[in-house]
Amino acid sequence: MSVSRRHTLAWAMGTVAAVFAASSAVAQDDGPIRIGSITTLEGPFATGGQDAYRAMEMAFEAIDYEIGGREIEWIRESSNATPEVALARARKLIEQDDVDIIIGPLSGAEGIALRDYSRTLEGKTIVNGSSGAADTTLRDPSSNFFRFNTEGTQWMAGLGTYAYDEMGSRHVALVAADYAFPYAQVFGFMHEYCELGGAVTKLWSPLNTTDFSSIIAQFPSDVDAVALIQGGTDALAFLTQYAEVGGDLPIIGGSITADQTLLSARGPHQSLMEGMVAAGPIADLNDDPAWQEFVAQYRERWPDGFDSPSIHAVNYYTNTIAVIEALQEVGGDLSDNQEAFQAALASLEFTAPTGANVRLDDNRKAISDIFLTRIVNDDGTMRTEAFGRTEDVSQTLGMDQDEFMALGAPSRDNPDCPPAG
């Protein structure tokens, strides 16, 4: 074979290969966009996880499962609120189902695990579901992990100040679950409460605790309120047992304590919940038109769901809407390792179903509004009612980044108040 013929053949083979590669890329661009999701359908937050999937389904139905001429293929997975299971489900979605994007998880330690996993991925994106541990995005963030919901520390904005100044509380018994998300909530509450002079007795419990009698027995005699940073079946168990022993201290609730996943349950715990103050990203009774429209759509679509969407439903919906808007902006194009899609995510600014504006900081973390809420009996139905609002709460609570970071990471021991008395 002559040199010229070899060059001609090589050129022809290269041309065929290039055409084949281009046609494959076109086929891939025309194929389905695979979105995987992880929420808790097992364990203490199972009812919240079910509601999260209700909201995601509403978001996908609104666009008829199609963006830019490409079908949305939604692959659902379940976790149990533990990081090990969430990570296993994420690996399955990426390695077996070949998803392009993951939306999830729900719980705090799960979020940190998926943040770390996202660093090992190329050309994939993880968008948070509802997990609210502070360090997921505050310290050592990942460039392909995005969170459009606010987190646990932000959710407590204004509550410590209200407890001290308006309730007159000076010493609380803090009953909190012993993992990453409650650490963030405790940090947000105590950051304000301790600064004003309040004292806190911390009483930690493992996730999935069913017997709180020993914790209740440890309440100091001079505490004037209980700060309950629990959710799901754990919160239900504590409140039921505290009511049964005649507990009557005012309850200051964590964000997932004052939520429809607990308010919709019947039992003696409801006597303690009426009047409970809390803070978080949603309130059942909120006169914003965007919220009222969302609640009406939720009730129509899910007549057997909660009376009002849960915090997990709202957070998963918000993050799903962000994914949809970014995909629409790039016409469903996920080429070049999703570079344009991730840039679209990073620059998004939109209105959440609560009526609050949402935008991201440089760590790809939401800045948005937080509500002070009170549980009221609304014609026989327990609901949270907004009575205050803090706008544009950042994950550094408005402080300078370096000053806030110097406070240290939320943990069992950080922060701490001076001893009572």
Give me the pLDDT at residue 141, please: 96
| Same domain, residue pair 261 and 117 | no
Quick check: is 245 in a domain?
yes
| Same domain, residue pair 253 and 195 | yes
| Same domain, residue pair 296 and 185 | no
Per-residue model confidence as pLDDT tens digits over 165-188: 999 999 999 999 999 999 999 999
Quick check: is 417 in a domain?
no
Quick check: is 75 in a domain?
yes
CATH number at residue 327: 3.40.50.2300
pLDDT bucket at 259, cuts 50 / 70 / 90: confident
Give me the pLDDT at residue 419, please: 63
| Same domain, residue pair 96 and 211 | no
| Same domain, residue pair 257 and 400 | yes
Cα atoms in the 13 Å half-sphere on the side-chain side of 130: 28
| Same domain, residue pair 50 and 66 | yes
Per-residue model confidence as pLDDT tens digits over 76-124: 999 999 999 999 999 999 999 999 999 999 999 999 999 999 999 999 9
Quick check: is 145 in a domain?
yes
* pTM score: 0.87
| Same domain, residue pair 249 and 357 | no
Quick check: is 349 in a domain?
yes
Per-residue model confidence as pLDDT tens digits over 116-147: 999 999 999 999 999 999 999 999 999 999 99
| Same domain, residue pair 363 and 374 | no
| Same domain, residue pair 389 and 362 | no
| Same domain, residue pair 135 and 69 | yes
CA distance 81 to 206: 12
pLDDT bucket at 201, cuts 50 / 70 / 90: very high
Direct distance between the N- and C-terminal alpha carbons of the chain, in angstroms, rounded to an integer? 97
Residue 4's contacts (CB-CB under 8 Å, 6 or more residues apart) are none
Kindly report the average pLDDT of the chain as a whole number. Answer: 92
Question: What secondary structure, in 3-state letters, does the chain show?
Answer: CCHHHHHHHHHHHHHHHHHHHHHHHHHHHHCCEEEEEEEECCCCCHHHHHHHHHHHHHHHHHCCCEECCEEEEEEEEEECCCHHHHHHHHHHHHHCCCCCEEECCCCHHHHHHHHHHHCCCCCCEEECCCCCCCHHHHCCCCCCEEECCCCHHHHCCCHHHHHHHCCCCCEEEEEEECCHHHHHHHHHHHHHHHHHCCEEEEEEECCCCCCCHHHHCCCCCCCCEEEEECCHHHHHHHHHHHHHCCCCCCEEECCCCCCHHHHCCCCCCHHHHCCCEEEECCCCECCCHHHHHHHHHHHHHCCCCCCCCCHHHHHHHHHHHHHHHHHHHCCCCCHHHHHHHHHHHHHCEEECCCCCEEEECCCCEEEEEEEEEEEEEECCEEEEEEEEEEEEECCCCCCCHHHHHCCCCCCCCCCCCCCCC
| Same domain, residue pair 39 and 109 | yes
Per-residue model confidence as pLDDT tens digits over 221-256: 999 999 999 998 999 999 999 999 999 999 999 998
Give me the pLDDT at residue 21, please: 41
**Number of structural domains found in the chain:** 2
| Same domain, residue pair 168 and 279 | yes
Give me the pLDDT at residue 10, please: 40
Quick check: is 356 in a domain?
yes
- Domain containing residue 220: 154-286+370-405
Per-residue model confidence as pLDDT tens digits over 1-48: 333 333 333 434 444 444 444 444 444 567 999 999 999 999 889 999
